[in-house]
Amino acid sequence: MADVVLKSLRKAYGRVVAVEGVDLEIAKGELIVLLGPSGCGKSTTLRMVAGLETITAGQLFIEGRDVTRLEPKDRDIAMVFQNYALYPHKTIRNNLAFGLKMRGMAKDEIARRVDAAAEMLDITHLLERKPGQLSGGQMQRVALGRALVRDPAIFLLDEPLSNLDAKLRARMREEIALLQRRIGKAMLYVTHDQTEAMTLADRIVIMRDGHVQQIGSPLAVYDRPANAFVAGFIGSPEMNLVPAEIVDGRLVLGDGVTLAAPAGAAGGPVTAGVRPEALTPGEEGAPLEVRGIEQLGSQTLFIGELGGHRVRSMTERRDDIALGDTILVSAKPAAIHLFDQSSGERLGTAPTD
């Protein structure tokens, strides 16, 4: 049974619709990531669950209760904000305990919860310090701890790692994933970073302009994007998307450049998608003039023109190719995604190895 259910949630500001018809069920212990570009409605959806935004239409259930019109304090949620929102004049211990004190909880129970959360997050040695004496990563742990002591039905995290540097973000992703498995509670996590989504989520909800584009496991969304928007948004480097036409079983890209089309593809105009790692250099294929090279350590990314379109090709490390060289690239037909040029919706079956 789902711990949290969103039924056709809608948010409008006058005539401006920010979120339209979000349907989602979150099971106990499941980590759901809301992913999309700025302005897509992901944070607004999270804020509706939190009670920080009124719900224009639809219903919200938490552990079977209809909480659509309840105040945030009555929803059994805990939220971790982007800016940590710690009280600078209070010690870490008092920051963790403050919400519980406001609820009138007994002192011994508050102490037990604070100590347990501090031990779980490895911040026991910081309890008598104040926020100004902590690093960014330590403050993020305190913000998580303040949510953890509440023991809510669902944790809500709004871009919690965006203020951290790249190395610390990677470490905190690992810690959040471990924490999630340990506490076994539902978690709704908002980010615009698809790496966070792919590494953390049990399921990803991809949004655009207030609408849900696709819901699925990270690999399902990666392997079978529902439309061209999802295909271009998921993956790093992003998928190559180029206008093409299928003629006699060949994918015509322009300037006389063709690739073998997927089996059974109908003729006519399409948007062809192929991931950089599937467009590989070799002894045969279409000519790609190299106009950019990114050395990534164990891999090399080539950027160039293919049939008049800018594309990326990724392969194992290559030191023998220079700017201005022309290489031959190809893609297995089964690795090519096809989308309708007008609607952007997927055509045909999912690519396979």
- pLDDT band at residue 75, thresholds of 50, 70 and 90? very high
What domain range is 279 assigned to? 237-347
- Which amino acid, residue 210? G
Summarize pLDDT for 22-31 with one digit per residue, the tens: 999 999 999 9
Task: Tell me if 306 sits within 8 A of 286, measured CB to CB.
Answer: yes
Residues 46 and 79: their CA atoms lie apart, in Å, by: 9
* 282 in the same domain as 170: no
Domain containing 92 — which CATH number?
3.40.50.300
pTM, whole model, 2 decimals?
Answer: 0.89
Instruction: With H, G, I as helix, E, B as strand and everything else as coil, classify residue 191.
Output: strand
> Which residue shows structure tokens 């999802």?
230
- pLDDT band at residue 353, thresholds of 50, 70 and 90? very low
On whether residue 256 sits in a domain, the answer given is yes
- Residue with more model confidence, 56 or 179: 56
Partnered with residue 190 across adjacent β-strands are: 34, 158
On whether residue 352 sits in a domain, the answer given is no
Residues 349 and 352: their CA atoms lie apart, in Å, by: 9
- pLDDT band at residue 165, thresholds of 50, 70 and 90? confident
Domain containing 329 — which CATH number?
2.40.50.140
DSSP 171: H
On whether residue 102 sits in a domain, the answer given is yes
Summarize pLDDT for 300-332 with one digit per residue, the tens: 999 999 888 999 999 999 999 999 999 999 999
Please report which helix (H) or strand (E) contains residue 222, including its range: helix 218-223
Q: What is the token pair recorded at 64? A: 């079977």
pLDDT at 351: 54
Alpha helices in 84-217 (DSSP H): 92-102, 107-120, 136-148, 166-183, 194-200
Task: Concatenate the DSSP letters of all residues of 294-348 into one string.
Answer: EE-SSEEEEEEEETTEEEEEEEE---S--TT-EEEEE--GGG-EEE-TTT-BEES
On whether residue 353 sits in a domain, the answer given is no
* 307 in the same domain as 188: no
* 176 in the same domain as 60: yes
pLDDT at 221: 96
Number of domains in the chain: 2
- Residue after which a domain boundary falls, among 205, 228, 251: 228
Summarize pLDDT for 231-264 with one digit per residue, the tens: 999 988 999 999 999 998 889 988 888 888 888 8
Through-space distance between the first and last CA atoms of the chain, rounded to whole angstroms = 35
